[in-house]
Amino acid sequence: MNGAIELLESRSTQIGELSIRRALPTRGRRSVGAWCFVDHMGPQSLRPDSSVDIAPHPHIGLQTVTWLFSGGFLHRDSLGSEQLIEPGELNLMSAGWGVAHSEESVRTGSRELHGMQLWVAQPSSTREGAAAFEHHRELPKLELANLEATVLVGALETASSSARTDSDLMGAELRLYNGDSVLPLRKDYEYALVVAHGRVRCAETIMRPGQLAYLGQGRDEIELTTEGGAVALLIGGVPLDEPVFMWWNFVARSKDEVVAAWRAWATGDERFAAVASPFARIEVAAPSWMNPSL
């Protein structure tokens, strides 16, 4: 059954000089399928003498999905990966039991940075498994009336990505052109739409950057309309069948799991190997529930 579209405002935050709009999680919505985190970065022009460098930090129990509209990042991780990501390319890192990585500014080329980073909560079958990293330069596309979709993960209609998925889900960039488009959906999926550029009418709801439209389950299609063009990200999947517990960069099932991961990072345990980055690793205070005085 098609319910009303739920329009949620993103929360503004900063990472250094970079402006972030956090679309997920919010008070009103913790996940969409297995997608549990969506950060919309920029668009922002960086000064010639500035950079956005995210020093080495750890992850457990999640996959990071990085997608850029402009600019670039250099990914380094504790597996030994070193990979430049540019617009139209996909970086996908599966943390499993534990991985550390950094994301560093590219000092040449465009000084504008605009993109999204998303997390997928890994299921029990893989969340304690080995970490992995993959990069995809070529991704499948689907062309519909007034719309071109690039499928990052999963499938949309006849277009299917070869990127790893641990859950039944999908994610796609939508480039919308003047006029109406009808996008096919799966009734067993719940979906959300995040606009990166322009304004989009989603069914009867008008949305802009800084908002997430939760479409729910039960739809077999959605009508999208724009004037002047727009770019959006569509995410969807089978709803999570168990709650997840998120703290800092960890996606777990309990506070005990988070504490164990924090201790491993704080003590330099081999669970998180070193990253070959010029930046010192990020340290974080213990979870507040470990210290009654906080």
Span 178-200, pLDDT tens digits: 999 999 999 999 999 999 999 99
Which tokens is 220 given? 């077999």
Q: Contact 74/83 with Cβ under 8 angstroms?
A: yes
Domains of the chain plus CATH, in order, are 6-237 (2.60.120.10)
Query: What pLDDT digit, counting tens, does each position of 131-166 carry?
Result: 999 999 999 999 999 999 999 999 999 999 999 999
- Average of per-residue pLDDT across 12-35: 93
Q: Please report, rounded to a whole number, the percentage of residues in the chain having pLDDT higher than 70.
A: 97
User: Does residue 110 surpass a pLDDT of 80?
Assistant: no
Residues 6 or more apart whose Cβ sits within 8 Å of residue 91:
64, 65, 66, 73, 75, 83, 85, 133, 134, 135
The answer to whether the beta carbons of residues 207 and 199 sit under 8 Å apart is: yes
pTM for the predicted model, two decimal places: 0.96
DSSP H or E segment with residue 119: strand 112-121
